[in-house]
Chain A
Amino acid sequence: MRPVPWRPARLLARSPQTPTARTLVFSVPGWPGHLPGQHVDVRLTAADGYRAVRSYSLAAPADGERVELGVQSVPGGEVSPYLADVLPVDALVEVRGPLGNWFVLRPGTLAPVLLVAGGAGVVPLVSMVRAHRAAALRGPLRLLYSVRGPDDLWYREQWADRHADFDLALLYTRVAPPGDRRGPERITARDLAAAAAALGPDGTAYVCGPTGFVESAADLLTGLGVDPATVRTERFG
C-alpha cells in the first residue's frame, strides 16, 4: 500500500478573482501531475499543533510543480479566509493529491461534453476548459456558468478569449449586466435544453457547485432526458 503523501507546498502568488475569491499558485516539489477535475486536500498546522484539512479544486491542467487552486473565502470559515487573505507569499502549507478519479475529464475525449458550474464550482471546470483549449484533438465543449452577478465572475480573461469548439453561456441569477436578454433568474430547463440535446448518446455532463445548485441542475438534466449515468456531479456544501 502506498498512501497519497502529504507534500510541502510553497505559496508563489495570489491573485483576486472576485472580491471574495482568490487564485493561489503553489510550488509543490515532486508533484506527480493530475487530470482536469481533480482536487487536493490542503493541510494547515498551527503553532500549537492543531491541524485543519480542507479540499480545493485544481484550476489548471498539470504544469510541472505548479499547482493552481481556486479558493472562495467563506465568512466565518476556519480555513478559507486564512488562505484567501492571510497566508503570506513564500509560506508553506501541505497538500495531498491529486485526488478523485471520477469527476475527471480524460484527455482525448472526442464526445460532446457539457459543463455546468454554479459559483465557485467553476474551479474544476475551468481546468477542463483550459485542457480542452490546449488539446490537438477535441470534441465540442460547452460551459453553462451560473453566477449571482458580473462581480462574481471568476476567470474573466479566460472567457474573453474564446477558442474553437468551445461555447460559453453566462447565467446571472441576481444581477444581469446591461444587454443580457435572459434577465436574472436561477438556472432553468430552458437554459439547459439545447445543451442537453447536444450531448447525444455518447456525451458526458459535469455539474459542480453548492449542493442545492448541483441537485437542481442534475435533476433538470435528467428531466430533459439525459441518462443519469452520464451526469457526474461534485458538491462543495
Chain B
Amino acid sequence: MADTAAHLDGNSLAGPLSEILAVEPTAAWWRCPECARSGPLAELHVYGPEPGLTARCPGCAYIALRLVREDGYAWLTMGSAAGAFRFPTA
C-alpha cells in the first residue's frame, strides 16, 4: 500500500474502521443492492484521498460506504444515500 492514488481495496479500511468498530470489519459480508454481487468488505474498491474514503461495489461501482475523518470525529455513511453517523474518536 503505497503513496499513489489508484483505487485500493477494503483491506485498507481495517485501520480507519477500527477507530469506530469493535469487530474487525474486513471479513464482513456484503451484498450489493444494485447488482446483487456479494463478497467481503475487503474486496470493495476504495477511493480516496484521505480524509474521505469511498468504498464501492467492485462489480457496478455502487457506493457501499463512505468514511470521512476529522480531528476527534469520524463520519460514516452506509450505502449511497445521505445521512452520516458521526462517531467520536478522540
Main secondary structure of the interface of B (DSSP, over half): loop
A55 contacts B by Cβ under 8 Å: yes
Alpha-carbon gap, A227 to B15, bound state (A): 28
A229 contacts B by Cβ under 8 Å: yes
A residues in contact with B15, CB < 8 Å = 4, 40-41, 53, 55, 96-97, 99
Residue of B nearest to A212 (CB): B6
A residues in contact with B43, CB < 8 Å = 102, 233
Q: How far is the CB of A75 from chain B (nearest CB, A)?
A: 9
Give residues of chain B (1-18) contacting chain A, Cβ–Cβ below 8 Å. Answer: 1-12, 14-15, 18
A210 contacts B by Cβ under 8 Å: yes
B residues in contact with A211, CB < 8 Å = 6-8
Q: Which of A2, A78, A96, A232 contacts B42 (CB 8 A)?
A: A232
Alpha-carbon gap, A129 to B19, bound state (A): 31
Q: B-facing mask of A1-16, CB < 8 A → 1, else 0?
A: 1111000000000000
Main secondary structure of the interface of A (DSSP, over half): mixed
B residues in contact with A3, CB < 8 Å = 18-20, 89
A237 contacts B by Cβ under 8 Å: yes
A residues in contact with B24, CB < 8 Å = 99-101
Number of interface residues of A (CB under 8 A): 37
Residue of A nearest to B41 (CB): A102
Alpha-carbon gap, A236 to B7, bound state (A): 8
A76 contacts B by Cβ under 8 Å: yes
A204 contacts B by Cβ under 8 Å: no
A191 contacts B by Cβ under 8 Å: no
A163 contacts B by Cβ under 8 Å: no
Contacting pair A39 B18 (CB below 8 A)? no
3 pairs of A and B residues whose beta carbons are closest in the complex: A77-B3, A102-B42, A99-B14
Q: Which residues of B contact A (CB under 8 A)?
A: 1-12, 14-15, 18-22, 24, 26-27, 39-43, 50, 89
Q: Which residues of A contact B (CB under 8 A)?
A: 1-4, 39-41, 53-57, 72, 74, 76-80, 96-97, 99-103, 120, 210-212, 229, 232-237
